[in-house]
Chains A and B, each alone.
Chain A
Amino acid sequence: MALRAAILGHLRVPVQTLTQNGRALQSWNLLNLNRSMSSHDDHLDKQEVIDRVVSVVKSFPKVDPAKVTPEVHFQNDLGLDSLDTVEIVMALEEEFKLEIPDKEADKIDSCKLAVEYIANHPMSS
């Protein structure tokens, strides 16, 4: 028993395995770069989604770009009507290469909801 404890006490895990793991991880990342033909693209981070949503809304012709913030409501704050909202949501779909079902797209009425929906969507790119 004492012998076993002594052996276990002096055993050390070799450091080499760590570097091997690191190399394996790196090659995995390199592989991901080469997988552009797959149907799964990389996920976006939230700040990028916010920036792109705001830039799409700002470039909408009827919108005053100075008023656009990430929290803005299309109809209450920007003075758009419901059909303009439909057009903005369609522009967002094209920007992020998404296909939002009609009923869900109908619920998106503000920048905040759009950012939330797109950031949580696995296929947005």
Chain B
Amino acid sequence: MSLTYATRRAAQKERVRILYRRALKDCLNWAVHRHLFYQDASELRERFEANKNVEDPDTIDRMISTGEAHYNKFRHPDPYIVPWAPGGSKFTRNPAPPTGIEIVYNYGREDND
């Protein structure tokens, strides 16, 4: 019983951490300037801290679900993506070949054909 309780609490803690991480990134996406982000981030942190001492697992589950639904509702439509990552501005952008390497566009035909 206590083991299942412990695993359930661990899973809840992980969900909360990931939710906080995504919400914090989303704050940064919505913030136009860095100083606006700091204010938003501390407000977000306060909302998480407000329910820090809730003990009942079912209540926690419900709160996490509410939080995730709220996060999904206000997610940024065009989030910042690190340039090399899929969807980023440098994704699959390859360097030019070094000098001395010639690309011959003969479409598979050799010289002696």
Contact = CB atoms under 8 A, between A and B. Distances in A.
B18 A102 contact: yes
B17 A31 contact: no
Contacts of B25: 90
Interface size class of chain B, counting residues whose CB lies under 8 Å from the partner chain = 20 to 34
Contacts of A37: 93, 95
A97 interface: yes
Mostly, the A contact residues are helix
Interface residues of A, number: 23
A64 to B, nearest CB: 20
A38 B82 contact: no
Interface in A37-63: 37-40
A75 to B, nearest CB: 12
Contact of A86 (B17, B82, B92): B17
Given A28-B98, A90-B25, A82 B13 contact: yes
B83 to A, nearest CB: 7
B70 interface: no
B8 interface: no
Interface of A: 27-28, 31, 35, 37-40, 82-83, 85-87, 89-90, 97-99, 102-103, 105-106, 123
Q: Which 4 A-B pairs have the closest CB atoms?
A: A38-B95, A39-B90, A99-B82, A35-B95
